[in-house]
Amino acid sequence: MKFKPLQIIAHIILILGVLLMVVPIWISFASSSHDSVTILTEGMKFHIGDQLARNYNEVLNEKGGWSEEVTAAKMFINSFIMALGIATLKVVISAMSAYALVYYRFKLAVPIFWLIFITLLVPLEVRIFPSYKIVSDLGLTNSYTGLILPLVASATATFFFRQFYKTIPDELLESAKLDGANAWSFFIDFLVPLSKTMIAAMFIFMFVYGYSQYLWPLIMTTAEEYWTVVMGMKIIYTESYEGVALPRTAERFAYIILSMIPPVLVVVFLQKWFIKGLIQTEK
Amino acid sequence: MSFLDLKNVTKIYPNGTKAVHETSLSVDEGEFMVFVGPSGCGKSTLLRMVAGLEDITEGDINLDGKLMNEVDPSERDVAMVFQNYALYPHMNVYNNLAYGLKNRGIDKQTIEQKVNDAAKLLQISDYLQRKPSMLSGGQRQRVAMGRAIVRNPKIFLFDEPLSNLDAKLRIQMRLEIKKLQQKVGVTSIFVTHDQVEAMTLADRLAVINNGIIEQLGTPIEIYDNPKSLFVAGFIGSPQMNFLDGNLKNKTLSAEGFEIKDINSDHEGEVTLGIRPEHLSQTENGLINLKVDLVEQLGSDNLVYGQLKDKKDFCYRCPGNQTIEKNSNLSLNIDNNKYYIFDKSTGKRVN
Ligand SMILES: Nc1ncnc2c1ncn2[C@@H]1O[C@H](COP(=O)(O)OP(=O)(O)OP(=O)(O)O)[C@@H](O)[C@H]1O
Ligand SMILES: [Mg+2]
């Protein structure tokens, strides 16, 4: 098989793209397997060193923080719970509100849709004080509920679901109605399976969004047991030993590599679904 | 009261379009009723009101003795076959058929039994595990029919279900639908704008124009005895010939000929209608036709030409007659088989 010049160029560009994505991750991984001192003195590494097990063991099990009680593993779990909660609720709520907007032809549907859409202009960072006030008045600081709840409304996902539902032919609804489906069963038996590709995609985006939250958990949590991965990253950076500020670079890299695992797992797990939906043209 | 009863049913859409005007109609149990009419005449609207998919602006619809106006479509026990079939794309054929039964809380075994029976009847047993996207047009059509049959509903509604099929398949499916309906015996309403489909399927036919039922009757009644110019022009293929004329003292004078002793006291401007198949060649006939074109269909010839006043005219004769292009034919109307309509109202006057 011969490659045409255009194909060769295309492949070179693609390979460069892959390298651009993969090399930094590899460097982080390779560097996480050396001694901190080696990295400080010799710079980042391309090959695997002999400290892999020690570094990762340390990151996962060493207790840190002011109370010397919180571990990285705990932070991963916290972030995972937070991201999972945000992604699940965002998808469920957006899918359902889009359903209401598209299929219930009440007069205010359009204004309400625009109202939801306008909230895109007011991200959490802008409304962080009122949000904090409400959450703390409700006594939800230092809780998973408090971490998740203010982030679960999503204009973007509502918008995408709405656009998708609008492409579903009316006859499908009518046909289902004649087959005895009610509003709820039409949603569960038709819209959900038909939009599963979309749901998988939204879930991935929203999971990564939730996982990478920084400001909100920072403000929300005072108890260390609710710290999240992104917060932890900062804390590990500033950690110092008895006056001697010795950055623990190798552990930092190990921590970064570990922190990537949950979102990667979600993507890998949902990708099957995602691609299945893309391959089967269900028209 | 008959099985399905429409009383003064009117539909005005929210944008003000009046799609159906005070229509009354009765359909008997087991009857095959066809709504036929040109595009936009309100056939689908009428059907959808029976299904409950459109609100009824005024009037009453009764099905099996119960007032349906406020009954939700899911409770009406009607089944509909849509033009584009509206199969459930994410379910396989089995589940497409089973869905309506599941919603009724029927137990699994009975569902399986019913689905298999329906599938056998429609010869789709081999495709039960396939998704609709993996079926041909004709197979999808069968699945759509199966979905309607399997529930054993009070009434079948068909909204132009054959219009997406190619000509040959359409004729085949038409036959199958008719056979199936006779076998299952379910009351059916079939909407079409194809008059051949309408004639062949119907026990009774409702010719609809501009939201009004112009005429209701068996196909033969309507063909033999059209009550208006519209019905006369719509039913019959090739179309009835229409000529201008004047009726006075029971004598009709048209361009180039006269007909005497007409069975009508109407006077004034009229339209004379003659079906192409109700003519035959004679010497010194009423009508002189200059032949432009002959279509040979085998069994018949369709002869197109012009009268003296350049009016287009069609004559249908048996296929064994040879007719030359540019020849002149002399034609007589068979057995007083002509129709006279008032020119301004379109109403039949003879
Ligand atoms: N949702 C609607 N809103 C407003 N007007 C409508 C609506 N649906 C149909 N109409 C109008 O009502 C009239 C009848 O429509 P209908 O769909 O019943 O026609 P039809 O006889 O089924 O035609 P076709 O053979 O093309 O399907 C048309 O003039 C159409 O424009
Ligand atoms: Mg229609």
DSSP B174-200: HHHHHHHHHHH--EEEEEES-HHHHHH
Does residue B350 sit within a domain?
no
Residue A246 confidence (pLDDT): 65
Q: Does the distance separating the beta carbons of A180 and B74 come in below 8 Å?
A: yes
- Global pTM value: 0.83
* Chains A, B: CB pairs < 8 Å: 64
Q: Tell me, what CATH number does B91's domain have?
A: 3.40.50.300
Do B327 and B292 share a domain, yes or no? yes
Ligand 1: atom nearest CA of B208 is 21
Of B300, B298, B272, B302, the closest CA to residue B287 belongs to B272
Do B42 and B188 share a domain, yes or no? yes
Do B154 and B302 share a domain, yes or no? no
Does residue B249 sit within a domain?
yes
Q: Does the distance separating the beta carbons of A169 and B73 come in below 8 Å?
A: no
**Ligand 1 and B15: CB distance under 6 A:** yes
Does residue B10 sit within a domain?
yes
Model confidence at B69: pLDDT above 90: yes
Does residue B347 sit within a domain?
no
Q: Does the distance separating the beta carbons of A181 and B51 come in below 8 Å?
A: no
Measure CB to CB from residue B133 to each of A182, A193, A281 and give the nearest one. Answer: A281
Which residues in chain A touch residue B100, judged by CB atoms under 8 angstroms apart?
A: 178-180
Q: Name the strands in the sheet holding B78-81, side by side, starting at the edge strand that comes first in the sequence.
A: B78-81, B155-159, B187-192, B32-36, B204-209, B212-217
Distance (angstroms) between ligand 2 centre and the Cα of B160 equals: 7
Q: B268 lies in which domain range?
A: 239-342
Distance (angstroms) between ligand 1 centre and the Cα of B290 equals: 42
Ligand 1: atom nearest CA of B11 is 12
Do B173 and B26 share a domain, yes or no? yes
Residue A262 confidence (pLDDT): 87
The C-alpha torsion from A26 through A28 and A34 to A37, rounded to 10°, is 150
Do B35 and B102 share a domain, yes or no? yes
Q: Name the strands in the sheet holding B66-67, side by side, starting at the edge strand that comes first in the sequence.
A: B18-27, B4-12, B58-63, B66-67
Between CA B36 and CA B160 the distance in angstroms is 10
Residue B92 confidence (pLDDT): 94
Site to substitute for ligand 1 among B11, B41, B49, B55, most atoms within 8 A of C-beta: B41
Q: Could you give the percent of chain B with pLDDT greater than 70?
A: 100
Distance (angstroms) between ligand 1 centre and the Cα of B17 equals: 9
The C-alpha torsion from B177 through B180 and B185 to B189, rounded to 10°, is -10
Does residue B163 sit within a domain?
yes
Residues 88-117 of B with CB under 8 A from A: 88-90, 99-100, 103-104
Residue A58 confidence (pLDDT): 79
In b/e form, how buried is each residue of A61-86, taking b as 16+ CB within 10 angstroms? eeebbeeeebbbebbbebbbbbbbbb
**Ligand 1 and B282: CB distance under 6 A:** no
Do B205 and B280 share a domain, yes or no? no
The C-alpha torsion from B55 through A186 and B159 to B174, rounded to 10°, is -150
Does residue B26 sit within a domain?
yes
**Ligand 1 and B84: CB distance under 6 A:** no
Task: HSE, CB side, 13 Å, CA atoms: give it for residue B342.
Answer: 11
Ligand 1: atom nearest CA of B42 is 18
**Which of the pair, B55 or B264, is modelled with greater confidence?**
B55
Do B83 and B209 share a domain, yes or no? yes
Could you tell me the two tokens for A151?
Answer: 């982030």
**Ligand 1 and B40: CB distance under 6 A:** yes
Residue A96 confidence (pLDDT): 94
Amino acid at A32: S
Last residue of a domain, one of B204, B230, B256: B230
Q: What is the pLDDT along chain A (283 residues), one digit of tens a residue?
A: 667 888 899 999 999 999 999 999 999 899 888 887 787 778 888 888 888 888 888 777 777 666 666 778 888 889 999 999 999 999 999 999 999 999 987 888 888 888 888 888 888 888 888 989 999 999 888 889 988 988 888 888 999 999 999 999 999 999 999 999 999 999 999 999 999 888 988 898 899 999 988 888 888 888 878 888 888 777 665 555 555 666 677 888 888 888 888 889 888 888 887 776 566 544 4
3-state secondary structure of B216: strand
Which residues in chain B touch residue A189, judged by CB atoms under 8 angstroms apart?
A: 99
Does residue B348 sit within a domain?
no
Model confidence at B21: pLDDT above 90: yes
Measure CB to CB from residue A180 to each of B89, B104, B133 and give the nearest one. Answer: B104
Residues 178-217 of B with CB under 8 A from A: none
Do B196 and B312 share a domain, yes or no? no
Residues 193-212 of A with CB under 8 A from B: 193-194
Q: Tell me, what CATH number does B309's domain have?
A: 2.40.50.140
Residue A283 confidence (pLDDT): 40
Domain ranges within chain A, ordered by starting residue: 5-281
Between CA A11 and CA A18 the distance in angstroms is 10
Of all protein residues, the one whose alpha carbon is nearest to atom 3 of ligand 1 is B13
Q: What is the least distance, in Å, from the CA of B12 to any CA of chain A?
A: 18
**Ligand 1 and B43: CB distance under 6 A:** yes
Last residue of a domain, one of B230, B260, B278: B230
Domain A5-281 has CATH 1.10.10.10: no
Do B179 and B322 share a domain, yes or no? no
Which residues in chain B touch residue A176, judged by CB atoms under 8 angstroms apart?
A: 88, 99
Q: Does the distance separating the beta carbons of A178 and B80 come in below 8 Å?
A: yes
Which residues in chain A touch residue B151, judged by CB atoms under 8 angstroms apart?
A: 179
Is the N-terminal amide bond of B238 cis, ω within 30° of 0?
A: yes
Long-range contacts: B236-239, Cβ < 8 Å, 24+? B236/B195, B236/B275, B237/B195, B237/B196, B238/B276, B238/B302, B238/B314, B238/B316, B239/B314
Q: Kindly state the average pLDDT of the residues B297-311.
A: 89
Residue A151 confidence (pLDDT): 87
> pLDDT grade, residue B316 (50/70/90)?
very high
Do B51 and B162 share a domain, yes or no? yes
Do B180 and B84 share a domain, yes or no? yes
Last residue of a domain, one of B230, B259, B288: B230
Distance (angstroms) between ligand 1 centre and the Cα of B62 equals: 23
Does residue B222 sit within a domain?
yes
Do A162 and A109 form a contact (C-beta atoms < 8 A)? no
Residue A272 confidence (pLDDT): 80
Do B291 and B332 share a domain, yes or no? yes
pLDDT tens track for B165-204: 888 889 998 998 999 999 889 999 999 999 899 999 999 9
Choose from B15, B103, B149, B164 for mutation: most chain A CBs within 10 A.
B103
What is the number of domains present in chain B?
A: 2
Residues 225-244 of A with CB under 8 A from B: none
Q: How much is the ipTM here?
A: 0.85
Q: Does B137 touch chain A (CB under 8 A)?
A: no
Distance (angstroms) between ligand 1 centre and the Cα of B46 equals: 10
> pLDDT grade, residue B321 (50/70/90)?
confident
Q: Does the distance separating the beta carbons of B88 and A190 come in below 8 Å?
A: yes
Distance (angstroms) between ligand 1 centre and the Cα of B53 equals: 13
Which residues in chain B touch residue A172, judged by CB atoms under 8 angstroms apart?
A: 86, 88
Task: HSE, CB side, 13 Å, CA atoms: give it for residue B163.
Answer: 15
Which residues 6+ apart lie within 8 Å of A178 measured at CB?
A: B51, B53, B73, B74, B76, B78, B79, B80, B100
Please report the beta strands in chain B, taking only residues with DSSP state E, as ranges in sequence order: 4-12, 18-27, 32-36, 58-63, 66-67, 78-81, 155-159, 187-192, 204-209, 212-217, 241-248, 251-254, 257-259, 268-274, 279-281, 287-296, 300-306, 312-318, 328-333, 339-342
Of all protein residues, the one whose alpha carbon is nearest to atom 30 of ligand 1 is B40
